[in-house]
Copies of this chain bind each other. A is one copy, B any other.
Amino acid sequence: MKVLIVHAHPERRSFNAAMLARSLAVLASEGHETVVSDLYGMGFNPVASGSDFRERRFPERLYYDREQKHSVSRGSFSDDIAAEIAKLVWCDVLILHFPLWWFSVPAILKGWLDRTFANGVAYGGGRRYDTGGLRGRRAMVVTSTAAFEGMCGPGGLVGELDVVLWPIQNGTLAYSGFDVLPPFVSYSVSFVDDRTRDGYFAAYEARLRTLDTTAPIDFHPLDDFGPDWRLKPGITPRAVGQMRSGPAS
């Protein structure tokens, strides 16, 4: 398979960098072809702006998503965006590799999503979720956190990871058509000993060796929703975003 790893960490000696090195070795041994976008190493610009388009359909006012669509048809994205879109369309598997900062991705990775997951590529013309522009591909979040595992989950201080990662896993990856594999999370990385750290590497290696067989997270397909964009009568909400919050019964 063709694997794109988008890596977002400022420090080459970090746990995340070690995970990246491990990924490359394992994926090569599995016979996969791997491309890395090391966002800090590339000096990637995360700020979406009018400069992202070499020509503008609406020069007088920036409609970012409309200009994306225009640039898809004209091939007029700025070079940095065009290069990332090419990798995205090329890949069979997308791995997002990042430390969890403020329950989300670092800004440099958010900007990669803002600029690369373009209207006309990732979605558009009614294509989303299982009809999304990047359907047929798999994606996985690989992240690390200072939080303890017990903090992450129902009743925990951080909360359920399904909730924490909803904007990325559902709202971005699944929205664009990816089958989203369960996340791989390394907990309390600032505090663990070498043995636990080696355990994370081994567990991650096992996940990498089963990229093509691991069952994805069960998000609702587009057809579960009616013309009012709400779950059709008789469809039971299966994903956390579609459930009703309120006092537990």
Contacts and interface: CB of A to CB of B under 8 A. Distances in A.
Contacts of A49: 10, 40
Nearest to A61: B13
A240 B245 contact: yes
A243 B248 contact: yes
A106 interface: yes
Interface in A40-83: 40, 46-50, 60-65
A238 interface: yes
A150 to B, nearest CB: 5
Given A107-B46, A230-B150, A102 B172 contact: yes
A105 B245 CA distance: 23
A204 interface: no
A77 to B, nearest CB: 16
A104 B50 CA distance: 20
Contacts of A225: 157
Interface in A93-144: 101-108, 110-111, 113-114, 117
Contact of A248 (B102, B159, B228, B236): B236
Contacts of A199: none
Contacts of A11: 61-64
A248 to B, nearest CB: 5
Interface of A: 10-11, 13-14, 40, 46-50, 60-65, 101-108, 110-111, 113-114, 117, 146, 148, 150-151, 154-160, 162-164, 166-168, 170-172, 175, 225, 228-231, 236-245, 247-249
